[in-house]
A = this chain, B = another copy of it.
Amino acid sequence: MNRSDQNSFRALADPTRRDILRMLARDEMTIADVSSHFDMTRAAVKKHLTVLSDGGLITVEARGRERINRINPAGFAPVLSWLEFFDQFWDDRLSTLKTTIEKDKT
């Protein structure tokens, strides 16, 4: 089976990276921008951004001495596609699932 989705799932496994994605969903940011939101070094944040980039969840564009990080919606496709596989088996239980999602929303 194809394992091209491994990098995207791995990228989503870390809470810091998920937070970064939520930030980038609102606005593109430089590495320094992102770093300013976390209590860790810029080098650590840069590593996270590299993992996100490897997973295809963000794109990075060089602009002068800065690196513009942007979320990449298409990168989520492997994850969503994998999750959708289960729909064919959950016809019965899906209403429960849907209800749980609504309750879990913040």
Contact = CB atoms under 8 A, between A and B. Distances in A.
Number of copies: 2
A62 interface: no
A10 B81 CA distance: 18
Interface residues of A, number: 45
A72 to B, nearest CB: 9
A74 interface: yes
Interface in A8-22: 9-10, 12-13, 15, 18-19, 21-22
B83 A76 contact: yes
A41 interface: no
A82 B105 CA distance: 8
B104 A91 contact: yes
9 contacts: A9-B18, A18-B82, A73-B94, A74-B93, A80-B83, A81-B101, A84-B97, A84-B100, A97-B101
